[in-house]
């Protein structure tokens, strides 16, 4: 298949940076972000990329040199090639990434940036599982083996406010979110971190080490949602169950758990639902990059469906029976490589 002008230009750009890095090692990191604001924040504060405006409209590229070698490699720099793409990963996005992330690229660092303010919390587990499955099937990436992966909860400073400012959240749901994310991270062999406005420079440096696949000296934090620091290998089923003995840790990557428990308990929109117009306040609305046009016919249809749903509440059991008869094209679980 012939290369497109865009892919050819990107390959030339990458080759230029590869050729100019004789005095440094090379490392590839892919940032898959749920929002443009979380991507920009991570680029500037964690990776110190301050000379470019981020966008999720297409695949972005940046590069940065870091001194990350040990004392025996003093003066040896690492050139980090940074690719950016939207989250969750789609088939088309993975196809574009395949131009740059092929079998010749070793030990890719994958980072999923979830946004506590603008993100859809309900679909977080599904999005992570789908994204990892796409990497395994379409790019043949061995997550937890040669490749490292990190889930980062961005804008995590709002976690404490959600219980007070939103009637949808309470302490029980927040604990359930904690156990669900930690369980999924454990099962998928990935790291789990939180990043907030007040994260110190010292902690930011330790976070950078984790996302680059390096060892951190920082003590893990398992409980506070706004300060989670759970590097790969630091958590366990027993530690997760200290928050609730009955939590099904080993089922967190199964579709049955995600659909019947996580997506029923955690607030947010189900797949295909539109964003509520009152979801964001004016301050947060400034961070939204695209505002959809209002379709009057669609709005009226949605109002009708809401009215219809209210009349069918007494028929919940019948509705469940009908839904159970519908064929499912999705496997019951996302399988891990053994």
Label residue 71 exposed, middle or buried (CB < 10 Å: 0-12, 13-18, 19+).
exposed
Residue 106: give its domain's CATH number: 3.40.50.300
> Is the distance from CB of 68 to CB of 83 less than 8 angstroms?
no
Task: State the pLDDT at residue 26.
Answer: 86
Task: State the pLDDT at residue 325.
Answer: 46
Residue 307 counted as domain residue: no
Choose among 218, 225, 169, 221: nearest CA to 196: 225
27 phi, psi to nearest 5 deg: -145, 140
Per the structure, the count of domains in the chain is 1
d(CA 79, CA 280): 38
> Is the distance from CB of 25 to CB of 107 less than 8 angstroms?
no
Residue 302 counted as domain residue: no
Residue 327 counted as domain residue: no
The dihedral built from the CA positions of residue 41, 131, 11 and 82, taken in this order, carries a sign that is: positive
Residue 13 counted as domain residue: no
H/E stretch holding 61 reads: strand 60-66
> Is the distance from CB of 158 to CB of 117 less than 8 angstroms?
yes
Task: State the pLDDT at residue 117.
Answer: 94
Using CA atoms of 277, 279, 280, 281 in order, give the dihedral in degrees to the nearest 10. Answer: 80
Spell out the per-residue pLDDT of the chain, length 338, in tens: 455 545 555 565 556 555 544 555 789 999 999 999 999 999 999 999 987 678 888 899 999 988 765 544 444 688 999 999 999 998 889 988 988 888 788 889 999 999 999 999 999 999 999 999 999 988 888 887 778 999 999 999 999 888 787 889 999 999 999 999 999 999 999 999 999 999 999 999 999 999 998 899 999 999 999 999 999 999 999 999 999 999 999 999 999 999 999 999 999 887 655 544 444 343 443 343 333 444 444 554 555 455 545 444 444 444 454 455 455 444 455 554 44
Question: What's the length of the chain?
Answer: 338
Which domain covers residue 69, as residue numbers?
A: 24-265
Q: How many CB atoms are closer than 10 A to CB 93?
A: 19
Residue 296 counted as domain residue: no
> Is the distance from CB of 86 to CB of 56 less than 8 angstroms?
yes
Residue 1 counted as domain residue: no
Choose among 52, 47, 56, 100: nearest CA to 78: 47
Task: State the pLDDT at residue 144.
Answer: 78
Task: State the pLDDT at residue 334.
Answer: 59
d(CA 16, CA 2): 21
Task: State the pLDDT at residue 47.
Answer: 94
> Is the distance from CB of 107 to CB of 146 less than 8 angstroms?
yes
Residue 291 counted as domain residue: no
Task: State the pLDDT at residue 72.
Answer: 42
């Amino acid at each position: 298949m012939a290369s497109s002008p865009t892919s050819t230009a990107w390959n030339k750009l990458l080759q230029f940076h590869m050729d100019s890095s004789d005095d440094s090692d090379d490392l590839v990191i892919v940032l898959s972000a749920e929002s443009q604001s979380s991507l920009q924040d991570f680029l500037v504060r964690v990776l110190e990329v301050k000379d470019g405006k981020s966008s999720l409209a297409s695949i972005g590229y940046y590069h940065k040199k870091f001194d990350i070698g040990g004392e025996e490699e003093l003066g040896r720099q690492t050139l980090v090639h940074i690719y950016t793409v939207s989250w969750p990963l789609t088939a088309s996005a993975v196809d574009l990434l395949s131009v740059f992330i092929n079998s010749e690229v070793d030990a890719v660092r994958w980072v999923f940036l979830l946004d506590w303010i603008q993100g859809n919390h309900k679909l977080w587990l599904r999005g992570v599982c789908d994204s990892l499955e796409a990497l395994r099937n379409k790019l043949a990436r061995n997550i937890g083996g040669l490749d490292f992966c990190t889930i980062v909860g961005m804008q995590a400073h709002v976690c404490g406010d959600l219980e007070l400012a939103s009637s949808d959240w309470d302490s029980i749901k927040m604990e359930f979110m904690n156990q669900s994310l930690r369980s999924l991270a454990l099962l998928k062999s990935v790291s789990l971190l939180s990043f907030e406005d007040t994260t110190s420079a010292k902690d930011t440096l330790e976070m950078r080490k984790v996302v680059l696949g390096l060892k951190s000296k920082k003590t893990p934090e398992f409980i506070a949602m706004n300060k989670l620091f759970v590097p790969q290998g630091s958590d366990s089923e027993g530690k997760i169950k200290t928050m609730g003995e009955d939590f099904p840790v080993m089922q967190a990557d199964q579709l049955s758990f995600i659909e019947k428990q996580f997506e029923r308990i955690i607030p947010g929109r189900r797949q295909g639902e539109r964003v509520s117009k009152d979801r964001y306040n004016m301050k947060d609305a400034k961070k939204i990059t695209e505002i959809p046009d209002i379709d009057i016919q669609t709005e009226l249809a949605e109002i009708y469906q809401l009215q219809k749903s209210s009349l069918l509440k007494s028929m919940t059991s019948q509705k469940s029976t009908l839904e159970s008869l519908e064929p499912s094209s999705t496997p019951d679980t996302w399988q891990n490589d053994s």
